[in-house]
A and B are shown apart, each in its own frame.
Chain A
Amino acid sequence: MSLPGSTMKIGGYSYHVSDQGDGDKVAMLVHGMPDDGSCWKYQAPALLKAGYRVIVPDTLGYGRTDRPVEVEHYKLEKIIEHMFEIIETLGLRDIHLMGHDWGSAITWPMVLQRSATLGASMARHSKPRSGCTRS
């Protein structure tokens, strides 16, 4: 199901990351539950056509990325660190970020933590992380 990609060692885990296109503009799409990167199969081609380099990871526990069974591996803070490690390993800057479901619960703290790295974001169907607002 995952989008075509390769394996990266991230946070001690094997992460499957799709990295397509070679444009100067960069978009990173983060899926939610119960999907993997293939849920962006219609958006990745549209972004490639618009000249973007498109980064789509399978997050921990999904698709071709490692799927450890222990709960402690899935703390949100760790998953967010993994996303930043992918960005840093690939040498990306000025990223357009998009998240869906739990992916929004990952991308929203990312934009709060490192505004300078992220150009514009989209929170699709934001995961509730507070009582009355959005992720």
Chain B
Amino acid sequence: MRNWYMYLHALDGMEELYTRDDFAFFRNFFCQHPEAEKVIEAIKQTGRIEWLNYDKANHVSMDYLAYAKDPEGFAPNCKVPTMVIFPEDDMFLWKTQAADTPSRMDAECRVEIIQGGHWSMLDHPDDVNKLMVEWFEAPISTARQDVKEA
């Protein structure tokens, strides 16, 4: 389960674990982040990590439970044309999450598998920019509905 960290973030002690020993655990955990040092500097400004509260306030287990109880009624299909960009080396999320998206769509859906890690908008910005502008500019009627490999 790649998103185990969401549970870790909800536990006591994470702020201290991330910051102690000059952010050693943080650097290991966010090793794929091209600008981890800038994030560390931002944390040092207050000495706190307020964003851990996102995982504390929104327990993904409740979503999993709701989905298990009612897969069809969990959420309506999306009616807005959507493109999903998934970087091949993403260490936190599953490729199947991207590939399965068209099954939850009532509109055009394009899935692009590209090179890069979780923060591909930073490590492969040109690839992301090309897809982003192309998608936003494309007439809806011509949007593709397939999955492309990098």
Known: A61-B53, A67-B46, A112-B78. Contact between A126 and B101, CB under 8 A? Answer: yes
Nearest CB on B from A112, distance (A) = 6
Kindly identify which residue among B33, B57, B83, B94 contacts A74, using a CB–CB cutoff of 8 Å: B57
Interchain Cβ contacts under 8 Å between A and B, 23 examples: A1-B38, A33-B51, A34-B30, A34-B51, A39-B121, A39-B122, A42-B122, A46-B129, A47-B132, A61-B51, A63-B42, A67-B50, A74-B56, A75-B58, A102-B54, A115-B78, A119-B81, A122-B132, A124-B84, A128-B60, A128-B94, A130-B63, A132-B100
Q: Annotate A94-114 by CB proximity to B: 1 below 8 A, 0 otherwise.
A: 001010111001001001100
Number of interface residues, chain B, beta carbon within 8 A: 62
Q: Is A15 an interface residue (CB 8 A)?
A: no
A96: chain B residues within 8 A (beta carbon): 136
| Chain B residues closer than 8 Å to A101, beta-carbon distance | 92, 118
Could you say which residues of chain A place their CB within 8 Å of the CB of B140? Answer: 120
Given the interface pairs A61-B53, A133-B104, the reply to whether A126 lies near B121 with Cβ below 8 Å is no
Within 8 A of A (CB), among B42-65: 42, 46, 48-51, 53-54, 56-58, 60, 63-64
Bound complex: CA A31 to CA B9 (Å)? 18
Complex: chain B residue closest to A76, CB-CB: B58
* Least CB distance, A108 to chain B, in whole angstroms: 7
Closest to B2 in A: A128
Cβ A46 vs Cβ B100 within 8 A: no
Q: For window 70-107 of chain B, which residues contact chain A by CB distance below 8 Å?
A: 74-76, 78-87, 90, 92-94, 96-98, 100-101, 103-104
- Encode contact with B along A67-90: 1 for CB under 8 Å, 0 otherwise: 111111111100000000000000
Q: Is there contact, CB below 8 Å, between A111 and B63?
A: no
B128 within 8 A of A: yes
